[in-house]
A and B are shown apart, each in its own frame.
Chain A
Amino acid sequence: MKSFTYVRAKSPADAASMAASTSGARFIAGGTNLLDLMKLEIETPPHLIDVNGLGLDKIEDTPSGGLRIGALVRNTDLAADDRVRRDYGVLSRALLAGASGQLRNKATTAGNLLQRTRCPYFYDTAQACNKRQPGSGCSAVRGFSRQHAIIGASTACIATHPSDMAVAMRVLDAAVETVLPNGKSRQIKMKDFHRLPGATPHIETSLQSGEFITAVTLPKPLGGTHVYHKVRDRASYAFALVSVAAVIQADGRGRVAFGGVAHKPWRVEAAERELPNGAAAVAARVFADAVPTPENEFKRILAERTLAGVLSETRGRS
């Protein structure tokens, strides 16, 4: 770990302006990912801005009938919130499918969105990784790539985004509220929040330098049946091979997003029209442009079959 300086932010705007004024500064909240990365010197921020004391830990109703989730709301609290459990079940289920109880107690809403990939080559500083060290190459492309992306990847990076929560937020059309270093705030739609790797896989979100997340908002409830099915090699405490977040209405229409397949939660709205026609029809459109590796080509069929399982469950319930 490299030495760093540490301050506590006084307000969201203060956090943003301090971050913009120190090159390489990082916000620290739960620290469940950042501290590990610092110990391994994958992240070497010279300056940490602690944002835990900013009071952003509330879940509030919005005038439009949705919810505003403070950036510092812990994953455990968000998953357990009565309104979330009642109206946004897919989000609660996604959160509980992630990490462990101990980690969820510390991990925050904004931190969850900003967590880094778990690509093993990203984690081994002796290996080439464009995400860790731009221009060094990608060891995963022809390496051990069973966990990696099958769609939306590039020759520079085939990493996946590891979050479960983000997949549910994508299917719910959540939006990220931020404050900029100049004190202004803005909203970024979930679909625009995470980026595809392209030639710059080290740039993972559309946040500007210093821009600080204050909340995530959820639109008014969608109704329907909410399912999150996470598939992995063991029953718990593992990142998704594939996950499916779905909200299905009684008439068979609905929404679906996939985790574990791309550099961001993967949702193709145009494919959702095919939901009444079954999983194969949806998957054919969602994954039309998939470019898997020999080690992860199973993910396409797995995604389709996981969706098929989800749809059969929702049929049983409605």
Chain B
Amino acid sequence: MKFDTPATTNPIDQLKIVGKPIDRIDGPLKTTGQAPYAYEQNQEVSGVAYGYVVGSTIAKGRIISIDTEAARAASGVISIVTAETAGPLGLGSMNTAKLLGGPEIDHYHQAIAVVVAETFEQARAAAQKVKVRYAKAVGKFDLVAERANAKLTNEGRGERLTGDFRTAYAAAPHQLDEVYRTPDQAHAMMEPHASMAKWEGDKLTLWTANQMIDWGRGDVAKTLGIPKASVRLISPYIGGGFGGKLFVRSDAVLAALGARAAKRPVKIALPRAFIFNNTTHRPATIQRIRIGCTPDGKITAIGHETWSGNLPGGKPENATQQTQFMYAGPNRMTATRLAVLDLPEGNAMRAPGEAPGLMALEIAMDEMAEKLGIDPVEFRIINDVQVDPNAPERPYSQRQLIKCLRDGAAHFGWSKRSAVPGKSRDGRWLVGMGVGAGYRGNPVAKSAARVRLDAAGKVTVETDMTDIGTGSYTIIAQTAAEMMGVPIDKVIVRLGDSDFPVSAGSGGQWGANSSTSGVYAACVKLREAVCKAVGFDASKAQFADGRVAVGKKSLSLGEAVGPKGLVAEDAIEFGDLSKKYLQSTFAAHFVEVGVDAATAEIRVRRMLAVCAAGRIINPKSARSQVIGAMTMGVGGAIMEELAVDTRHGFFVNHDLAGYEVPVHGDIPHQDVIFLDEEDPISSPMKARGIGELGLCGVSAAIANAIYNATGVRVRDYPLTLDKLITHLPSFA
């Protein structure tokens, strides 16, 4: 099904099941431990052996020699694979550094060997006996030092100019010119990267934690040099990804190589302390923002430049993404520059671009509002725009950021905020409120599904879509139930298998909208097939209560499809509506923080997100997405940072004791309000993405609240207490 004109009325609009806060249909399996994750697919194989990955202990250089003799002699060892013994390996199209390194070393903890043994403990013990000699080379590990060597990239169209930024900025009566920094961040999802591989002849089956089955299938094939058709990926349950599992990683490739060498199924889970330097992370940024304004708060010039680093061939963190579109202003400049760094591979993490970009931009907006003496909510409203500011003929499909801000301000009690910072106190706590606007694009991608209706009236949906904890199972079941007119417990959803039709996968907050649209398309086809089978006019048929009816003629679905049932398969394919219309999602984040007047300890006291993201397919799972993202935003604002050792070129705090993410005690009551929207330009579901929006703008709202509480402006994330304490008034 081609989606190239805005949706009209369709069966989803009945909203009998779609739009309802239905509990996760996979919830009981998960809460009772019966949902098997990749490492737990024990019923699928017998005689499994265990792989343990050896990582490089230098960041850059060459392996002179690997001595595996002692490891081979260790008890239980079956085989050891290194780059030397693995045979020729390709590089996945989504990978920057090789997943099995050697002799060249590209980064710290790059995998250089896998030891396969009878037990996990034996594999680990033997891996620790592998002795490697290196020739270290000088690497580049310091973004600040390499900033001057960074090159302009094509991300965001190079140096994108609209109007005459430099002249307008120079002429602006009010100017802001500040530099902000965001650190390297880790996905830190709960489930580690894990895979289990089994070969049958030259056919590989890989149970793996992966968000994008078809990408993964292609890259496994490309890396191993085998046809894509010879690879099957299975990933029905995934314990979080946040972008860290968009791509095939060393666990998958080394499980496959280990299994081939051992002639046994092999499983590998990356140890937590290995994940931080072995896999990908969100790259650090340095961002310079310039805003020029008239005295009444109209932006006349806005400039946003960003610098990040990556391995040669890697991509930049495009932190200017939102600034191209978010606020009004006739004169604009954005530029994304990239330096070469020999740190581990930087790549996508939840809301890549916008998350760090808004961490900077939304502080800048707060600062500019203060310079102007305008309330920061009003300042954003003054600069709202309903069209692409670079191409005014291109409207937003829907943009209710003003309503998000106004509703949020009213709900949160924004009027009680003191415009002068450092004035509000609750006992020992300095109290402040902050606002940050959220903006995230609404990408969509082709997504296919197969839908089967059986004689019992049950509907089975198959698609290689993944559920990374987001609720895909449930919203897909809701979509099929609504379309076929059956209760949700008559729908079976099967996901995460490359034998199923190729979906959009989970990433970039495109998954929910795209994959349910694909299911919609397949259901439209199935409805037509049902009608054809019984001689009904599909345009007049009603599917409801497990029956199909035209006028007074009515049949149960089981009767309609007969003993063999019916199957339909289709894909949603998106036309050029995203070119004609700018499609985005919007949020207003309001936060109240307390800062201990003595110790500068920061506690978030209240949070509210008001989101505008089209139709909300399931308010319960959508709310879970948003509060999870707000929690991640708290981490990003006040604690998360991969500490770079610029001498040795690695992230030092490479475990969950050192890389701190929020605990329950850090998270207060969180409110989420969804605006009642439907967006017929986005998809037949009339939904937009929600999974990443909740993270966009929230960290800056916290930073702004900390400023409001203390009067101390910190432009360098995370806002840990050491950055505040020397600026606080004395405490006695």
Contact = CB atoms under 8 A, between A and B. Distances in A.
Interface of A: 1-3, 39-41, 118, 120-121, 123-124, 126-127, 139, 142-144, 146, 229, 231-239, 241, 278-279, 298, 301-302, 305-306, 308-309, 312
A120 B652 contact: yes
Contacts of B658: 118, 120
Interface stretch (B305-313, B332-340, B596-604): B596-604
Given A120-B652, A120-B654, A143-B652, A308 B731 contact: yes
Given A126-B57, A234-B639, A234-B666, A306 B124 contact: no
Interface of B: 57, 121, 124-125, 128, 273, 428, 596-601, 603, 638-639, 643-645, 647-648, 652-655, 657-658, 660-666, 718, 720-722, 725-726, 728, 731-732
Given A143-B647, A298-B722, A309-B599, A233 B654 contact: no
11 contacts: A40-B273, A126-B57, A146-B643, A231-B601, A232-B601, A233-B720, A235-B663, A236-B666, A302-B722, A302-B725, A305-B600
B652 A41 contact: no
A120 B663 contact: no
Contacts of A278: 732
Nearest to B55: A126
Contacts of B428: 309, 312
B731 A139 contact: no
Contacts of B663: 234-237
A312 B732 contact: yes
* B57, B601, B644, B660, most chain A CB atoms within 10 A: B601
Given A120-B654, A305-B598, A238 B722 contact: no
Contacts of B121: 1
Contacts, number: 106
Contacts of A3: 125
Contact of A308 (B598, B638, B645, B665): B598
B660 A124 contact: no
B598 to A, nearest CB: 3
Given A233-B660, A234-B662, A235-B665, A305 B725 contact: yes
B665 A298 contact: no
A121 B643 CA distance: 12
Nearest to A307: B598
B726 A301 contact: yes
A187 B501 CA distance: 72
A86 B435 CA distance: 45
B722 to A, nearest CB: 4
A123 B273 contact: yes
B131 to A, nearest CB: 12
A238 B428 CA distance: 22
B273 A231 contact: no
A229 B721 CA distance: 15
Given A120-B658, A124-B273, 12 more contacts: A1-B128, A3-B125, A39-B124, A120-B655, A121-B652, A124-B654, A144-B653, A241-B721, A298-B726, A309-B428, A309-B599, A312-B598
* A126, A238, A305, A309, most chain B CB atoms within 10 A: A305
Contacts of B597: 309
A1 B599 contact: no
A301 B727 CA distance: 11
Which 7 residue pairs across A and B have the least CB separation, nearest first? A309-B598, A235-B665, A126-B57, A298-B722, A236-B665, A144-B652, A144-B643
Contact of A301 (B638, B718, B720, B725): B725
Given A142-B647, A143-B647, A233-B720, A123 B660 contact: no
Nearest to A127: B648
